[in-house]
Amino acid sequence: MEKYLQFFIYIPILGYLISLLINKKRESIIANISIATSFVQLLLLITFSFFWYTTGAATLDIKQVTLLTTPEFDFFIDFFFDRISLVFLFVGSILTLLVSVFSKYYIHREPGFKRYFNNVQLFFLGYCIVVVSGNFETLFLGWEMIGVTSFLLISFYRNRYLPVKNAMKVVSLYRLGDVFLILAMWLSHHFWHGNISFYQILDVEKTIALIENQKTLAIFISISIIIGASIKSAMYPFSSWVARAMEGPSSSSAIFYGSLSIHLGVFLLLRTFPFWQHLIIVKIIIIALGLLTSLICNSIAKAQPTVKTQIAYASITQIGIIFIEIALGYHQLALFHFMGNAFFRTYQILVSPSVLNYLIHNQFFTGVVKNLKLPSKLSNTFYMLSIKEYNMDITLFKYFWLPFKKVSTKLLFFNNRFFYISISILFLLGIYLDINTFQSHPVMLKAFVYLFSLISLILILLSFNERKSSINAWFNVVYGHLFIMMSISINSHIQFKYLLLYLISICFFGILGYKAIKNLEKETDFITLDQYHGNSQMHPKLSILFLIACLGLIGFPISPLYIGIDLLLTYIESDQYLIMISVGLCLIFIEISLLRIYTRLFCGIPLKTTEPISFKSA
């Protein structure tokens, strides 16, 4: 049975590749390919599950392919199938099929019809990879696809201000969750002394023995997993991003934030449960988080004036309860709860435009306001907090993003020729030290490791705060990548052939992005990063090329950098927290900086257009 698992990935890949080749004017064919892909996947799943159950329903695990092997590292794609995978695949296939049929008519004659279905196909591929993944590396492959397609579909109406702005808000939090998942992968490498599969975690005796010897490390891994899952499933205090994500088409909101994408945090907790089930403190954290989220989001859902926001917070309320069920060990109940919540929220979002007018009419003429049995002052306080969504957006901005904005502003004095000449000389010195490590003093080497990791963070924050030159912002990211590579290489003296994965990707996608910006400058009068230029409408090919370059430098699985990042992180020791924090912050702000450059250059209201221009409101 194991050999057939790969077809759950091949079918979405084939459907996605075929859809890319179809002319955008052939709407019916594009939509039918998406419908056929999910329908064939559903038929395969039904047939596969029948034979799987009749042969004993044993847990399946297959090491599909090894992409890279080093003395310390083994990067392999692993597929895994059990009852959890079956339920998530079943729900995903049915809902993707239904939403594709609905979208065929709902998105009809939209200028981005093909773009929409391409993103839905890529999302479905990423979702299937996550669900049948057998290790963290394979899971993160699909996790990244889902994050990027979320960004592209939230900003589907990219000629408007709010969808683009909210897409950046959502992807910023997504990236924060991605980095915590990367931290969990990094710590797991040191915990297990190598890459492991989820099947190996099922060995209870071995897992308990390792946890007893490294309990602190196990707790750190578990907390990293919880934070990654909480951000993906919009637990408090990250819940507000779901309402912002509703700027996309209702059909994509249904499949992403009503049913599938938002439940991936649930999937992550279910998949890693055999690891953290022995840690009582972790269970308490998950239960407290789920309970707090359910109480807060339930009150917000009742007070919000917009229907999609109400549905979003109602869905999060149920996911909070599912978190509690998982922590208590009621996994079958959690899976049934997931199915019910996913189907119901999808239905609610898809029919909301049709029934909204009737409900508003009914509210005005027959609606009755139910008073809470609380003192009026306390009742009004809860009401205002719910209307303001408990100030989650403001809190996250004030205590997380604003400090980095202030720091990056203070770092602007580094933005001069002397600084870049100095760090270039240091970089050449670093190459010499890396080649001649045996001749260098260990203290000096460590000093250069920390210095280079600090320089990389400075460069990325300078790109994050750049408001004028897109070329400067781009090269700061590229240069920051090089300093990350050099700091880790000096730290562990990595063989050059392994660094090539990282170096080739940086050079190729760095040059591709530079060429795209230069060609755009030739076509337009001026380009700055202090406003949105909306060039995707006038220069669609440059928009696609630059987006590919951005994704390549982010580490999206279209480039060797995806493997290179994971490979480099294995060379950071488990006690080198300062280096890992620096690299983690760099990875967060690299994606934010690159997508910010992309949105400023290619999204927003076009400065030159012959078509009607929409205002800021969606």
In tens, the pLDDT along 110-143 reads 888 999 999 999 999 999 999 999 999 999 999 9
Cβ neighbour number for residue 591 with a 10 Å cutoff:
28
* DSSP symbols for 481-514: HHHHHHHHHHHHT--HHHHHHHHHHHHHHHHHHH
| pLDDT-based confidence at residue 93 (cuts at 50, 70, 90) | very high
Q: In this structure, how many other beta carbons lie within 10 angstroms of the beta carbon of residue 202?
A: 15
DSSP assigned state of 372: P
pLDDT band, residue 617 (cuts 50/70/90): very low
Task: With respect to residue 315, please indicate whether it lies within any of the assigned structural domains.
Answer: yes
pLDDT band at 382 (very low <50, low <70, confident <90, very high): confident
**What pLDDT is attached to residue 616?**
43
Q: How far apart are CA 520 and CA 114, in angstroms?
A: 24
Buried b / exposed e along 338-353 (16+ C-beta atoms within 10 A): bbebbbbbbbbbbebe
447 falls within a domain? yes
Same domain, 352 and 437: no
pLDDT 10s digits, 252-265: 999 888 889 999 99
Structure tokens at 351: 């029919």
Contact in structure between 311 and 60 (CB atoms under 8 Å): no
Angle at the Cα of 33 (from 257 to 132), degrees rounded to 5? 55
- Classify 527 as helix, strand or coil: coil
What token pair was written down for 4? 């057939």
Residues 276 and 164 placed together within one structural domain of the fold:
yes
Give the count of domains, the chain.
2
Is residue 378, in this structure, part of any structural domain at all? no
Residue 465 has pLDDT above 50, yes or no: yes
pLDDT exceeds cutoff 70 at 108: yes
Same domain, 342 and 204: yes
Residue 63: strand pairing partners: 78
3-state DSSP helix/strand/coil % of the chain, to nearest 5: 75, 5, 20
- Residue 609, domain member (yes or no): no
Containing structural domain, residue 577: 415-602
> If you count DSSP H runs as helices and E runs as strands, how many of each does the chain have, helices first?
25, 2
3-state SS of 31-76 is HHHHHHHHHHHHHHHHHHHHHHHHCCCCCEEEEEEEEEECCCCEEE
338 and 444, same domain (yes or no): no
369 within a domain of the structure (yes/no) = no
- Indicate if 311 and 431 belong to the same structural domain: no
Query: Are residues 455 and 323 part of one domain?
Result: no
Q: What is the mean pLDDT of the chain?
A: 88
Local confidence band at 380 (pLDDT 50, 70, 90 cut-offs): confident
Evaluate whether 490 touches 434 at the Cβ level (below 8 Å): yes
Helical residues (DSSP H) of 524-560, grouped into ranges: 540-554
- What is the identity of the amino acid at 189? H
Task: Quick: pLDDT tens for 14-57.
Answer: 999 999 999 988 999 999 999 999 999 999 999 999 999 998 88
Distance, in Å, from the CA atom of 517 to the CA atom of 601, rounded to the nearest integer, reads: 9
- pTM for the model: 0.92
Q: Is the pLDDT of residue 159 over 60?
A: yes
- Specify whether 426 is located in the same domain as 355: no
Considering the domain architecture, whether residues 427 and 336 belong to the same structural domain is answered as no
Q: Residue 52's closest CA among 21, 85, 97?
A: 85
Tokens, residue 289: 């988080």
Rounded distance, CA 356 to CA 350, Å?
11
- The 3-state DSSP class for residue 423 equals helix
Do residues 122 and 206 share a domain? yes
Q: Do residues 135 and 196 lie in contact, with contact meaning Cβ atoms separated by under 8 Å?
A: yes
What pLDDT does 342 receive?
A: 94
The band of 374, judged by pLDDT with boundaries at 50, 70 and 90, is low
Q: What is the CA radius of gyration of the chain?
A: 24
Q: What is the pLDDT of residues 507-535, one digit of tens each?
A: 999 999 999 999 998 888 778 888 888 88
Q: How far is CA 376 from CA 365, 369, 382, 479, in A?
A: 25, 14, 10, 58
Contact criterion met (CB below 8 Å) for 19 and 33: yes
Tokens encoding 182: 């990367």
Measure CA of the first residue to CA of the last residue in the chain; give whole Å.
Answer: 48
Please report whether residue 388 resides in a domain.
Answer: no
Q: Is residue 242 part of a domain?
A: yes
**359 and 423 assigned to the same domain:** no
464 in the same domain as 319: no
- Using the predicted structure, report yes or no on whether residue 192 has a pLDDT greater than 80: yes
Name residues whose C-beta falls within 8 Å of residue 222's C-beta, 6 or more positions apart in sequence.
Answer: 272, 275, 276, 279, 282
* Alpha-helical runs (H) found in 367-495: 376-387, 392-396, 402-410, 417-435, 442-465, 470-492
Mean pLDDT of 533-551: 91
CA 103 – CA 118 distance, rounded (Å): 12
Identify whether 237 is preceded by a cis peptide bond (ω within 30 of 0). yes
Instruction: Identify whether the C-beta of residue 48 lies closer than 8 Å to the C-beta of residue 300.
Output: no
- Conformational region of residue 18, where left means phi above 0, alpha means psi within -120 to 50, and beta covers everything else: alpha
Contact 201, 78 (CB under 8 A): no
Same domain, yes or no: 309 and 420: no
394 in a structural domain: no
Q: What is the pLDDT of residues 304-315, one digit of tens each?
A: 888 888 899 999
Antiparallel, parallel or unpaired: β 74-81 and 60-69: antiparallel
